[in-house]
Amino acid sequence: MRILSFLLVLLSGPLSAAAQPMSDEAFGAHVAKHFRDGPPAGAATEIALRVTALPTGEFVAVRVPVPATKDGWANTHVLVGCDDRPETKPWTAYRLTAGSDFVHFDDTEAYETRQAPRFSILVNGCKLVEAAAAGEPISAQERNLTLRHFHENLHPGPTFLCPDVTKCSGLARTVLAESGGVHRLGLADIALVQPYQVLRQAFPADRQKLRTESGAFSEAVVKECRIPRRITAEDPHGNPEGTDRFAPCVAKAYARQRGVWLAAVAAVGVPGATEEARRPAEEHRFLQFLLKFHGYLPESTRIDGAYGEATRGAITAAQTAAGLPADGYMSEALAEHLRGKP
């Protein structure tokens, strides 16, 4: 796994009295250039951004596009921190002006997983004006873009945890270790679990049969991919050594079984069930987060992409509140409602 160190780049030169605010697009290009080339010669300029406050005290500049770097990694938004930590209200839009003397760095986890890729910067001399006071309230679309950058949405999966590695199977450790790798096994696990959970909802009397089928599948993957029952050796970064050699086989097996379960979901003949099962894994997790954000799931809920009993109850409650058929499936109609809900 590629490990990136934080790139700390301080721009030199005092803020020019004649400096002009940059557009969002120009600022995105400004950040990308400094990431690639280092600080340029000459005086700094001034930045002016529309940002939305996070509960962490940071901001997301959701309208700043950063051009792709030379390795093809495109970045869509910038996470902004202020040196003086001003008081803000979460999920509120602000106009931020500051000197462009800043420290900026990449987000290693987001870079490696391609989940919500972003640059993070720390700017000096922040001044804030609440956008709503200027007639610019945050829109539902902008709010949802901001939510995508909240910390619990950044990890790539999988749907399970393994707090005690001595009791974690070789397959589970492989999936955990390679969640951020090229085969994205964390997201593959979520994608595999999606149709499985839909089938559990559709056929409650057959849940034990499905559990047995799932267990047999896991055993078959271990045998097919020749994964040790236990993997304990660690590399210097804390990941099991050698798991990368199992990942291609696991990814293929997961995709194959997902296809089997998707076909079974299609036979159910319920549009909402099919829409939920086929939704991209990232969006699947994000919609579960929106259920929590809107109060249908408790604050303590872990957003993992597995729609178990609690999430099914939350979906049903959200459907009822929206005047939709309460069948417990995350239909596209409910998804659109949650995305646009203030």
Per residue in 98-110, pLDDT (tens digit) is 766 666 555 444 4
Instruction: Give pLDDT, residue 62.
Output: 66
pLDDT at residue 113 tops 50: no
Q: Which residue has the higher pLDDT, 21 or 303?
A: 303
State whether 239 and 289 are in the same domain.
Answer: yes
Residue written as token pair 């870079």 = 111
CA–CA gap between residue 223 and residue 241 (Å, rounded): 19
Instruction: Give pLDDT, residue 117.
Output: 45
Residue written as token pair 């934080």 = 6
CA–CA gap between residue 77 and residue 117 (Å, rounded): 8
CA–CA gap between residue 303 and residue 285 (Å, rounded): 7
State the amino acid at position 246 in one-letter form: F
State whether 300 and 236 are in the same domain.
Answer: yes
CA–CA gap between residue 29 and residue 67 (Å, rounded): 6
Identify the domain containing residue 122 by its residue range: 24-153
Chain mean pLDDT for the chain:
79
Q: Structural domain tally of the chain?
A: 2
Q: Please say whether the beta carbons of 144 and 288 come within 8 A.
A: no
CA–CA gap between residue 334 and residue 336 (Å, rounded): 5
State whether 147 and 177 are in the same domain.
Answer: no
Q: What is the mean pLDDT of residues 188-195?
A: 97
Split at pLDDT 50, 70, 90, the class of 188 is very high
Q: Please say whether the beta carbons of 121 and 104 come within 8 A.
A: yes
State whether 104 and 133 are in the same domain.
Answer: yes
Asked which of 153-167, 189-203, 264-278, 320-334 is least confident by mean pLDDT, the reply is: 153-167
The β-bridge partners of 234 are 240
State whether 215 and 334 are in the same domain.
Answer: yes
Q: What is the mean pLDDT of residues 110-116?
A: 41
Residue written as token pair 């959970």 = 197
State whether 102 and 179 are in the same domain.
Answer: no
Q: Which residue has the higher pLDDT, 235 or 196?
A: 196
Which distant-in-sequence residues (6+ apart) come within 8 Å of 25 by Cβ? Answer: 64, 65
What are 272-329's pLDDT values in tens digits? 999 999 999 989 998 999 999 899 999 889 899 999 999 999 999 999 999 999 999 9
Which distant-in-sequence residues (6+ apart) come within 8 Å of 212 by Cβ? Answer: none
Instruction: Give pLDDT, residue 281.
Output: 92
Residue at 6 is within a domain: no
Domain boundary among 153, 181, 204: 153
Instruction: Give pLDDT, residue 59.
Output: 83
pLDDT at residue 130 tops 80: yes
Residue at 7 is within a domain: no
DSSP 103: E
Question: Three-state DSSP class for 63?
Answer: coil
State whether 145 and 171 are in the same domain.
Answer: no
Among 47-51, 104-108, 237-241, 331-335, top mean pLDDT goes to 331-335
State the amino acid at position 107 in one-letter form: D
pLDDT at residue 115 tops 50: no
Which distant-in-sequence residues (6+ apart) come within 8 Å of 241 by Cβ? Answer: 231, 233, 234, 235
CA–CA gap between residue 46 and residue 98 (Å, rounded): 6
pLDDT at residue 214 tops 60: yes
Q: What angle do CA 309, 311, 313 make, to 5 degrees?
A: 70
Split at pLDDT 50, 70, 90, the class of 334 is very high
Instruction: Give pLDDT, residue 38.
Output: 58
CA–CA gap between residue 138 and residue 262 (Å, rounded): 38
Question: Three-state DSSP class for 101?
Answer: strand
DSSP string, 110-164: HHHHTSS-EEEEEEEEEEEEEGGGGT-PPPHHHHHHHHTTSGGGSS---S---S-
State whether 263 and 292 are in the same domain.
Answer: yes
What are 24-72's pLDDT values in tens digits? 666 666 666 665 665 555 445 567 778 888 777 778 876 555 555 544 4
User: Which candidate, 139, 199, 175, places its Cα nearest to that of 249?
Assistant: 175
State whether 41 and 82 are in the same domain.
Answer: yes
Residue at 85 is within a domain: yes
Instruction: Give pLDDT, residue 34.
Output: 63
State whether 120 and 188 are in the same domain.
Answer: no
CA–CA gap between residue 244 and residue 94 (Å, rounded): 44
Q: What angle do CA 327, 289, 283 make, to 5 degrees?
A: 80
Residue at 1 is within a domain: no
User: What percent of the chain shows pLDDT beyond 90?
Assistant: 41
The set of long-range contacts for 209-216, using a CB threshold of 8 Å and a minimum separation of 24, is none
State whether 105 and 212 are in the same domain.
Answer: no
Instruction: Give pLDDT, residue 12.
Output: 30
Instruction: Give pLDDT, residue 307.
Output: 97
Which distant-in-sequence residues (6+ apart) come within 8 Å of 289 by Cβ? Answer: 147, 150, 152, 153, 303
What are 263-273's pLDDT values in tens digits? 999 999 999 99
pLDDT at residue 128 tops 90: no
Domain boundary among 98, 126, 153: 153
Residue at 59 is within a domain: yes
Which pair of structure tokens corresponds to residue 17?
Answer: 């009295």
pLDDT at residue 173 tops 60: yes
User: What percent of the chain shows pLDDT beyond 70?
Assistant: 71
State the amino acid at position 34 in one-letter form: H
Residue at 18 is within a domain: no
Residue at 272 is within a domain: yes
State whether 62 and 123 are in the same domain.
Answer: yes
Q: Which residue has the higher pLDDT, 334 or 27?
A: 334
Domain boundary among 153, 183, 208: 153
CA–CA gap between residue 9 and residue 32 (Å, rounded): 12
